[in-house]
Structure 1
Amino acid sequence: MLSRKEIVSILLLLTAMICILNAALFCNIMPIATSYEQLAQQTINAGTAYICILYALSTWVYHSNYSEPRRQIRYVLIAMLILLIAANLAGLVTVVKTLFMSDLSEAMDMRDLFSSFGYLCRTVAAVLFVITLLLLIIILIIVTITACNHSWSISSRQDSKEDLP
């Protein structure tokens, strides 16, 4: 049976693979010089993949027998997950904005700007952003519950020791 830490690591690796796929294929349909939104989407995906791989591999590479460093790493991971969720939400908004809500939408059909393949790629990129966000939120919930349970159990043990003569 997998531990909670290994489940989080596997979910982080899955998220990293989705982000690499999204950055390499679906957010790469126009030259970068013509679309800075695409550059932002690729940067967000690459950054998310890098951070997810870093924390996922730390499960098997780094181990501490002390509870204090493990708790601190959980808090840093929670902060990084919140940052990644915000960045991926911004990337999703950028994809949706370039597809459906541009200032040009009143003057012309947005489908004319992209080929059918480009439009499909943008739609898949938006779906992959949503999947990434869902995975990051699930990981955040698991890590937060773990951190709260461990900090509560540590504080209850310290309180019980202080009551002893």
Structure 2
Amino acid sequence: MFHFLSKKESLAVLLFSTALICVLNASVFGNTMPTTSCYVQLTQQSVSIGTAYICILYAASTWVYHSNYSEPRQHMRYVLLAMLMIMILANLVSFILLIRRQFFCPLNEAIKMADLFSPFGWICNFVAIGAVLLTILLLTVAFIVVAMTAITKRKLSARADGGAVTLFFLIFYY
């Protein structure tokens, strides 16, 4: 991604930017109705803040946590892949709920949805939908980068182990 940063640091910057988008989405754009009257908005805010927290946690671990052993690093990659998948799915659910509220709600049949929101609120709803889409896209990119790294490291580890086992077998067999 960035030529002056390592792959791990580039991923951390990507996760920090995702966290920033999520915090803005939850605090500014996702607050157009009272929380008690709109559970979709509460869901979207909860998913956004949860995603931001997890992204900050894993991004900060780039500089805070380091292991000299390859096995714990590989395990952390697997955990990060699982967390990224959970965050992608949670944001997809949030996106679907936002779209349903905005366009396909049964309330739409009873009243005109545009009358519920001010022009600023209407624009904020579209920005919130766009921010959730951007979050899903950035999380997917992070997932692909981590998956490619985990697969590459696993293949290298398997080759190294396979070579040692073959060498060990050849030495003691003959």
TM-score of Structure 1 vs Structure 2, range by shorter chain: over 0.9
1:13 aligns to what?
A: 16
The CA distance in 1 between the partners of 2:115 and 2:125, in whole Å, is 13
2:126 aligns to what?
A: 123
Asked if 1:79 corresponds to 2:85, the answer is no
Segment of structure 1 superposing worse, 109-118 or 18-27:
109-118
1:103 aligns to what?
A: 106
Segment of structure 1 superposing worse, 29-38 or 140-149:
29-38
TM-align CA RMSD: 0.8
Q: Which runs of 4+ in 1 moved over 3 A?
A: none
Query: Highest Rg: 1 or 2?
Result: 2
Asked if 1:150 corresponds to 2:160, the answer is no
**Number of equivalences:** 165
How far has the Cα of 1:104 moved from its partner?
2.4
The CA distance in 2 between the partners of 1:152 and 1:110, in whole Å, is 54
Identity of aligned residues (%): 48
Structure 1: stretches of 5+ with no match in the other structure: none
The CA distance in 1 between the partners of 2:33 and 2:159, in whole Å, is 56
How far has the Cα of 1:113 moved from its partner?
1.8
For normalisation by structure 2, the TM-score amounts to: 0.92
Give secondary structure in 2 for the equivalent of 1:122. Answer: helix
Deviations 1:34-91 (A, max 9, x none): 1111111110000000000000000000100000110000000000000000000111
Structure 2: stretches of 5+ with no match in the other structure: none
